[in-house]
Every structure is written in C-alpha cells, then in structure tokens.
Structure 1
C-alpha cells in the first residue's frame, strides 16, 4: 500500500515537473516573439539631437537608401540651406513604437530637434517608416505660406508613395521628394506629383514579407504548444508502462 502511494506521488510529481517545464517554455517563446518586436521599435527619443544649421540632412536608420542617394540628397539640401536659409531633413526608421504613428513621430522629432519658435523657423522634416511605408512631413509655421499643408501632404502621400507602391523604390522616392521640395522652397514652380501609370496585372499569389513572417511565427508557436502538451503526456504514459 505504501509502495503504491509512493508510485502515485512520484507520477504526480513527474507530471507536475513536465507541466511546469512546458509552461516555462511557452512563456520564453512568447517573450522571444513579442519582446523582440518591441525591442526593434523606434521613437523620437532614440535619435541624436540636431540643431538648426547643423549639416545633418539624411538619417537613414532603416538602411533603405544607397550611399549615392544619401550623398546626392545631402548635397541638394546643403545647397538649398546655403542659398535660402531653409533647411530640410529626411529620416527613415524601422518600426514605430507601439501606438505611435508616422505623423506623431515626425511631430515629436521636430519638437525635439527644434524646441523653440526661433529654432523651428525655416525647418522641414520628412519621415518614413519602412515597415508600413508610411510617410509624413512636419513644417514650421513660417514656411506654410510657400509649402501649404495640401502640398506637403501631396509630397508625402504621392511623390514618396508612388515609387514605393511600384516596387519599394526608396531611392527614387526620396530623390523625387528632394527635387520637389528644393524647387518649391527655392521659389520655383511646383513640379507636382508624379504621373501615375495604370497597369492591369493579374493578382499574384505570393505572400508579402510581413504575412510570411506572421505565418512563420504562428507556426512556431503552435508547434511548440503541441510539443509542450505531448511531452508531459507521453512521459506519463511511458512511466506507467515501465512500472
């Protein structure tokens, strides 16, 4: 009788041990999957300070622009600042903080870099998040007479977006945005948004990168949950079989 009770207690302890181990494994996977995404998020606080007149024109944190493109844009914006006193800066990021939008990010970064009305004068900031391909422009009050809100929106949502919708052409998107901003802020006629060509194509069946990543993560979680459930059960039955 005592030996039988001892065997029952040992089995219960074994099952409890593997159940706790499985739960710990599940929690570790959840932290790995969801914590990693949060660690990669970006906020205005993570960017170094930039002051008016400082020759920092392009910050490509998302690494979507070539060195040639960054150099060409920096030269254009440097010449614009020297000729007119108007400064434009481009920022790319990879993944926003939870609950953040590209518009709120651009606004916060603008306020961080140029905290006073005097510092904000003649400043323009174009920001893009390459996960959602969302873009936004934030400008100073003094520039809105020559760069009104509707024009700024057209630049971020048309000049930038058209090349991105046509194959994620980031270099072209930012070069086109730079050309248009430089023309407007130099007092030249607005060249306007790009002409959109309508091409009829059959819908592809290939999954997007974001969809693939999401499906892969789901498969991993499901597989681990199955393993975490099966192992304690199999251990229990094997233990009973050899008693």
Structure 2
C-alpha cells in the first residue's frame, strides 16, 4: 500500500511537470504570435533626402520596375522645372501619430529652413491604413494650391486603392498629375471617386488578425495541457 501510494505521488509530479511545460509553451506561442505585426515606421528610419530618395518605399508596396519609372520621371521633372517631388511609403504609424503629422515632421526633418523646402513636395502613404498626405514648399504653392495638393493626396492617390490596393497605379497617377501641375500645364484633375471609400475602420488591423489567429492556438494548447495529464492520471489509477 505504501509503495502504491508513493508511485501515485511520483506519477502526479510527472503530470504536473507536463502541465506546466504545456502552459509555458502556450504562453510563448501567444507572445510570439502577438508580436508578429510590423513595427511602426519612425522618422529616424527614413534616409536623408537626396536625388536617390525620389521614392522611399519603406512599406515595400511598389514594384522595382515602377520604382525606377517613378524615379526617372521625378528626376526629369526636377531637371526641367526645379520642382522636386518625393514619394514615401511607411509600414504603420505610431499610436499618437497621424499621416498628416508624420508628413509635416518628415518635411521639416528633410528641409529645416523655408529656403531648403521652397520647391519641395512630399507625398506619404501608410500601407496599413492606406491613408495619405502631402506637404509642399512655398514656391510650390504658386503652381499648385493647397486645395489641389489635398486633392492629389486624397483623391488621385485613393481612387486606385479602392479597387484592390493598387499601389503602383496610385503612385503612377499621382506622379502624372503632379508633373502636369508643377510643369505649368492645366490640372488634369482627380479621377472619379466611388462611394465605398476604404478607411481605417473598415478592416481588421494586423494586430487584430494576428491575435485572432493566436487565441485558438492558445486555447487548444491550454485544453490539451489540462486534459491529457488528467486522463493519463486516471488511466494509471484505474
């Protein structure tokens, strides 16, 4: 009787150890899955401005071919008119940041004085929310009013994104319109905008998606870590 009781205690210790290992595994898995979404893009990740920063694709959403095409077009615009345009994509904004505030800060970081930014235009797109914004220098405003600039960022950019996240088409359309306006040609205007505008609140974030995938795994592991040791114990006892 004494040895049988001692054997049961040893079995219980092993089962408890197995349960704790299963629980630890579940916690590690949950942590790794929850940390899957990309980190927010900070201003310090954006490289210094130069002729090579016509297109800064930190969001990795523009094809290599179209990145080269956009760069050539914007370089040609700068050579002919002195107007310099830069396209920037980012992965995600910090929680206390908006696309407008990020764009303004980036403009100030790249062009700290009014003289440096006089002929500069920056267009920024957040690939997580598809929100976009534009910032322009003082001399740019003589060719492109703030109203037209806003239309470029909010209408020309957004129209292709409503049809399935067509990022390459969006930047090509924005490039064509900016080149026309900044070259002194008539504004071709925005494309037709449909009603079902895609906004931040209409789809799940990467965090929500990752968490929704992690929860079933964690629940399953916890159930297994609880039931299997108990079933094994009852089998031994019986």
TM-score (structure 1 length as normaliser):
0.79
1:170-218 C-alpha deviation (Å, 9 max, x unpaired): 222111111111222222221111134789xxxxxxxx99589956752
Residue 32 of structure 2 is matched in structure 1 by 32
Is 1:44 aligned with 2:43? yes
Aligned-pair Cα RMSD in Å: 3.1
Mark the runs of 5 or more structure 1 residues left unpaired by the alignment.
200-207
**Which of 138, 151, 167 is matched with 1:154 structurally?**
151
Task: Considering Cα pairs closer than 8 Å and 6+ residues apart, tell me whether 1 or 2 has the greater RCO.
Answer: 2
Q: Is the 8 A contact 1:135 1:160 kept in 2?
A: yes
Is 1:121 aligned with 2:115? no
Q: Is the 8 A contact 1:23 1:228 kept in 2?
A: yes
- Comparing 86-95 and 225-234, the one that deviates more: 225-234
Extract structure 1 runs of 4+ deviating beyond 6 A: none
Is 1:21 aligned with 2:21? yes
Residue 132 of structure 1 is matched in structure 2 by 129
Looking at structure 2, the residues matched to 141 and 105 of structure 1 have their Cα atoms a distance apart, in angstroms, of: 19
SS of the aligned residue for 2:123 comes to strand
Looking at structure 2, the residues matched to 137 and 25 of structure 1 have their Cα atoms a distance apart, in angstroms, of: 46
Residue 141 of structure 2 is matched in structure 1 by 144
Residue 205 of structure 1 is matched in structure 2 by none
Kindly state the Cα deviation for residue 167 of structure 1 after the two structures are TM-superposed: 2.8
Q: Is the 8 A contact 1:38 1:97 kept in 2?
A: no
Residue 108 of structure 2 is matched in structure 1 by 111
SS of the aligned residue for 2:37 comes to helix
Alpha-carbon spacing, 1:30–1:110, altered in 2? closer, same or farther (3 Å): farther
Looking at structure 2, the residues matched to 198 and 31 of structure 1 have their Cα atoms a distance apart, in angstroms, of: 39
Q: Is the 8 A contact 2:15 2:233 kept in 1?
A: no
Kindly state the Cα deviation for residue 80 of structure 1 after the two structures are TM-superposed: 1.8
SS of the aligned residue for 2:53 comes to coil
TM-score (structure 2 length as normaliser):
0.80
SS of the aligned residue for 1:193 comes to coil
Looking at structure 2, the residues matched to 42 and 128 of structure 1 have their Cα atoms a distance apart, in angstroms, of: 11
Looking at structure 1, the residues matched to 180 and 208 of structure 2 have their Cα atoms a distance apart, in angstroms, of: 42
Mark the runs of 5 or more structure 2 residues left unpaired by the alignment.
197-201
- Comparing 10-19 and 112-121, the one that deviates more: 10-19
**Which of 189, 204, 224 is matched with 1:230 structurally?**
224
Is 1:68 aligned with 2:65? yes
Q: Is the 8 A contact 2:155 2:190 kept in 1?
A: yes
